[in-house]
Structure 1
Amino acid sequence: MGHITALISSYLPVVIALLCLIAAWFLGDWRNWKTYYPTILFAICVDFLISLLSYNFSLWEFHKSAVTPNHTIADFMIAFTNLPCIVMVYLHKYPLKSRPLRQVVYIAIWSAVFTCIEGLFLLIKMLTYHNNWNFWWSIAVWVFMFIGLRLHFTRPLWAWLLCLVGVVFLILYFHIPIAKMK
């Protein structure tokens, strides 16, 4: 049984990527993909910005799997596979014209789903936290991300400002040693 669990966990990043691709295929608005493209690029840029800032000072680390030999490759797979699919479905189904409470619930559901996926990666030890990062911070990041995606879709400059504030907070709160970067 342990061998089967190890095999499943080793291919979990591929399973998640495939589920994201399938969801985007069936639930995404492919006729209007250009509408979502700027926000997809925003999500990828923010992911890379955080990866760059924490490259030598990891807050979290993805571990080797059957298809991702290291953290960087895992992050690239997430950035170029999962994030575009997530953005496409999330924004297409977002209840833009609904009451604020329904929008809050929508953001909470998406945040909870991806928090659970992260929890699964933690449980099977394919993800670890470092430098005072913990699961609560990850929950906050998921909420922050889904709010930021929605904001970028309608008010991109405000989303970049929110991103800048978030990055400055991470640098100051977690004492990311940016002075030691190349």
Structure 2
Amino acid sequence: MQYYVICNLLYNFVFYQHTLWRYEGDPSWLKHSIIEIAFTLIVVPIMILVYLHFFPSGIKGLAYIAAWALFFWITEVIFNKRGNFIYENGWNIWWSLLFNMIMFPVLRIHYKKPLFAIIISIPIIFLLLLFFHPSLGELK
């Protein structure tokens, strides 16, 4: 959970002016930052606890990962169709699916071997920065 929380909050802080998606709430006071904090500190940690606690052994783990990635993706699709989840700066629903398919195995790896997960996260972060973010000079 800590791995996810730190990565997500760091992303939202560093790229506050250049996000790949944003939340739009209803009522109007429910803005991206409030929703993101609630997801990052409450919703997703609970879901990660459930995901890791019930993780099956063997080949069933692959189907389990796929089910969780699809669940998160379908939830996002529904929120996008309702206008509550807006894509920006080249990101789209298919990038989200790919991200989920990478995120869930890395969360499991981090649970078992934290240092290894951090090491494999570095090139993933680099690729995401290469494709989707402005130069560091453009950051706030």
Shorter-chain TM-score category?
Answer: over 0.9
Pair 1:119 & 2:77 matched = yes
- 1:155 paired with 2:119, answer no
CA contact (8 A) 1:63 1:127 kept: yes
Of 38, 56, 63 in structure 2, the residue corresponding to residue 77 of structure 1 is 38
Q: CA deviation at 1:74?
A: 0.9
Asked if the contact 1:58/1:130 (under 8 Å) is kept, the reply is yes
Which structure exhibits the higher relative contact order, with contacts defined as CA atoms closer than 8 Å and separated by 6 or more residues? 2
Verify: 1:44 aligned to 2:5, yes or no.
yes
TM-fit CA distance, 1:143: 1.4
State how far apart, in whole Å, the 2-side matches of 1:156 and 1:67 are: 39
Alignment of 1:1-182 (within 5 A): 40-66=1-27, 69-95=30-56, 98-99=57-58, 101-182=59-140
* Cα distance in 2 for residues equivalent to 1:68 and 1:146: 31
Q: 1:166 to 1:69 in 2, by over 3 A?
A: same
Separation of aligned partners in 1, 2:115 and 2:134: 25
Structure whose alpha-carbon radius of gyration is higher: 1
* Unmatched 5+ stretches in structure 2: none
Q: Do 1:46 and 1:163's aligned partners in 2 also have CA atoms closer than 8 Å?
A: no
Instruction: Give the conservation status (yes or no) of the 8 Å contact 2:65–2:104.
Output: yes
Alignment partner, residue 3 of structure 1: none
Question: TM-score, structure 1 length as denominator?
Answer: 0.72
For residue 134 of structure 2, give the secondary structure of its aligned residue in structure 1: coil
CA shift for structure 1 position 163: 2.2
Aligned residue pairs: how many? 140
77-86 or 62-71: bigger deviation: 62-71
